[in-house]
Structure formats: structure tokens, C-alpha cells
Amino acid sequence: MSEITIDKIDGAYLNKRIDKVISEILEIPRNQIQNYIKEGLITVCGKTISKSYKIKENDIIKIVIPPPKELNLKSSDAPIKILYEDNDVVVLDKPYGLVVHPGAGHEEKSVVAALFFRGIQLSNIGSPLRPGVVHRIDKDTSGVIVVAKNDRAHFELAKQFFEHSIDRVYIGITACHLKETDGKIEQPIGRHTKNRKLFTTTKNGKNAITQYKVLKKLENYDVVMFKLFTGRTHQIRVHMKAIGCPLLGDRVYGKQTNIIERQALHAFKLCFSHPSTGERLCFYSKLPEDMKKIITGG
């Protein structure tokens, strides 16, 4: 077991239910957090609390993360490139066509499986299928991601993602020309009412903000830089569809094409504060060849 202590309460969390806050930060199902509370694994100022307890300013919250009941993930190598590693984090470059962690499809190859194959231990948070995973990029999106090696680092990174203090910049190619060369899309995103695997803009969704800037106009497409101020699932893809100019090659939110076999989207830059030292770190991933060929006409 490992223990996480929160002795400084952010103002945004005050007077909110403890089960909801911790569930949203760690992206763990709320009923799982409620079980932790029931089992006495989450305490406030040394005392057990109810799941409906509301966080107060001087609270000291302790969370004990139990070891995973089962971890049947197979280790299997994949062409990931490790950009940085220390005792707390692994930063890596993910190719398109590879999932970050196995899901309902039980994919044998994943970033998590490749890290296990290389003998890298990950945090227990998110086990058994998502150990160490503090954020994800889509299977067919390439680029830089960070993974946590221990539970304390996982919590500190997850908190940054939850508070949107992480800097994330993507490069994409749109299937048409944008009407404006730069702008900010502020449209809430939620699950599609008819297909729960898809997402859409909806007034009842979660707040979602994407800033964009056209870097280069091609004959039929635009090369666009995206900056995320929130981190909703499929956010860039959904927002581009919403303004009538989906990403090139996006078979889900746009149209299939023979120009590129996946959505033309690449996680180019990732900046975060180191979970132990607080040092601001930035990492970059080179544009992959399939996107580069379209941009250069090669």
C-alpha cells in the first residue's frame, strides 16, 4: 500500500463532496472512491468520514492506495521512444496505431504493456488496466505523453491535469480551410445521446476550450496548431467537427481519405511541473512522416 497526503486544499475544492473531488482528479470511478472511504482508506485529519463529507479549508486528507487485486496485463514491446525517465515519471513518444492502455478490446499491445516489457514499474492507481496512466491520447493520435511510476507522482500529475495547469500543444491538418486563421472554441462536450462511444458538443456537457492558429495554408488543407485549455475526450476532433472543418483522415468525426490512414493529429508539446521538485519541464515530439509528407508535398 502507498499513502498520499493532501495538506493544502485548493479553493476550487472547498465545500465539495470528497468522493466527487477525488474521483474526478484521479479518474477513478466514484463508487470505487466510496469503497475506499467505507474501508477507512480515506481519512480527514486522522478521522474516518462519510462519502458525502464536504472538504474544508484546513483539512488534511490522507488516501491509502491498496495494491491491485489482480494485474493480468501481459508485457509486450511496442515502438515507443522514451524521452525522459526518473524515479517518478516516464515521458515517451507514442506512435499512432497504439493504445495507451488496454480496454474493452483487450488489446495485447499498448504503451503500458511496452513499459512493463522494459521492466518499468508504474503506479497502482488505475490498476488493473490503467496503472500509471494520468492522461491519454487516442490510438491513432501520435505524440508525447507522461506516465506516473508511483502513486504520489500519479496524484500530483493528475491534479495538474484536473486543474488544467499542464501545457499541451498539438499539430493537426484540417480537411478544409478554416474561415478564421486563429480563434478559440468554447463549446461544452459530452457523450453522444445515440452512440455512447462518441462525443459531441452539447450545452449539457463539460466545459471545453480549444485555441487554434493556422500555421500554414496548403492547397486544400490547413496546418493548425491547437492549444488545449481543458482535456475532454476527443476534444480537438469534436471541436473541429463542430465548426465545420474536421481533421483530415478522421473517420469518426469527418471522412475517410486515401491521403492519410488516420486522423492527422500529433501531440507536439507537453509541459508540466515535476511532481517532486516542482521544476517546470517541457518535452517535444517531432512531426511523424505521414503528416510531414502532406505538409511538404513529398
Looking at 93, 138, 151, 222, which residue is catalytic? 138
**Cα separation, 78 vs 274, whole angstroms:** 26
Dihedral-angle region of residue 234 (phi above 0 means left; psi in -120 to 50 means alpha; beta otherwise) = left
Contact 125, 28 (CB under 8 A): yes
Cell of 116: 512493463
Catalytic (active site) residue 140 = no
The residues annotated as belonging to the active site are 138
